[in-house]
Chains A and B, each alone.
Chain A
C-alpha cells in the first residue's frame, strides 16, 4: 500500500506540497504516547497519532517512519509542518478517529509493525 492509497482511504489532506506519496508502506503503529512509538525500531512504519508537537517529527530522526497520519482533525503548526518537509517526511491529516483509521487500514491489508 502506498501513502497515496492511505491518504485516499482516510480522506486525508496532505499537509505540504511535493510530499513523496508513492512510498510503499509495509506496516503501521498507532499511539499518542512517545515512548510507545519508540518501540518501533525494527522496520519503516506509518505512524497514526493525535500528537502534533515538534517531538513527533523529531522521533523520525531516531526511528524509521514512512509517514505520519494526524487523526481526529488535528493539524500541527506551520513550524512543525516545516520540520517534516525539511526531512522529506510525508504528513497527512484526517478527520477520522484513531480507531476508525486503524480499522480501515487493517481491513485494507496494512499489518501491524513488529515491536
Chain B
C-alpha cells in the first residue's frame, strides 16, 4: 500500500502528540456515502458544519473544515464504490476519516497535482473533476494522510485544529 503524509509547518509536534495520546472523542458522527449519489453527497459535511457551528467553532476554521470535508465526501461518491465518513470531535481539533470500498488510487503523488483528474463524464457534467479535490483538502487542513493502492480501499484522513 502507498502512503502519503502532509503536515503543515509548525504542526508536527501537535499531530504526533495527538496521535500517540489516543484521547477519547467528545462527539462521534458517522455518515454513509453511497456511490455516485449526488443528491445526498455533501449532506454529511453540511450537517457536520451545523454541529460545529453550534459548538462555537470560529467561522474561518469552520469553512476550512467544511470545504475539506465536502471535497473528500465528493471524492468518495465520485470515484469509489461507496464508503463511510467518520468525524471525531476533540477538545482542540477535529479528525475526519473517510474509508471507501475501492478501487483505490493508482498514483497518489499524481493525484495530488492540481488539475489532474480521473473523473468520468457524469461527474464532470455536474461540475466536478477540476482536479482540485485533494489539493483543496490539503490546503484547508493542518495534516492529511492517505493510504491506498490500486485494487484496494482508500483511507483518507485529515486533522484541523480549532485554534
Footprint of B on A, CB under 8 Å? 32-36, 38-39, 41-42, 49, 51, 53-56, 58-59, 61-64
Please state if B42 and A58 are interface contacts (CB–CB under 8 Å): yes
CB distance from B125 to the nearest CB of A (A): 9
Of A35, A36, A53, A55, chain B has the most CB atoms within 10 Å of the CB of A35
CB distance from A44 to the nearest CB of B (A): 11
Distance of A34 Cα from B78 Cα, bound (Å): 13
How many residue pairs at the A-B interface have CB separations less than 8 Å?
Answer: 71
> Which of A34, A39, A61 is B127 in contact with, Cβ under 8 Å?
A34
What is the total number of residues of chain B having a CB less than 8 Å from a CB of chain A? 26
Of B64, B127, B128, B140, chain A has the most CB atoms within 10 Å of the CB of B127
Residues of B within 8 A of A55 (CB): 38, 41-42, 74, 126-128
CB distance from A14 to the nearest CB of B (A): 23
B45 within 8 A of A: yes
Residues of B within 8 A of A34 (CB): 74, 126-128, 130
Residue of A nearest to B49 (CB): A61
Please state if A35 and B49 are interface contacts (CB–CB under 8 Å): no
CB distance from A34 to the nearest CB of B (A): 4
Q: Knowing A61-B49, A62-B49 touch, does A35 contact B38 (C-beta < 8 A)?
A: no
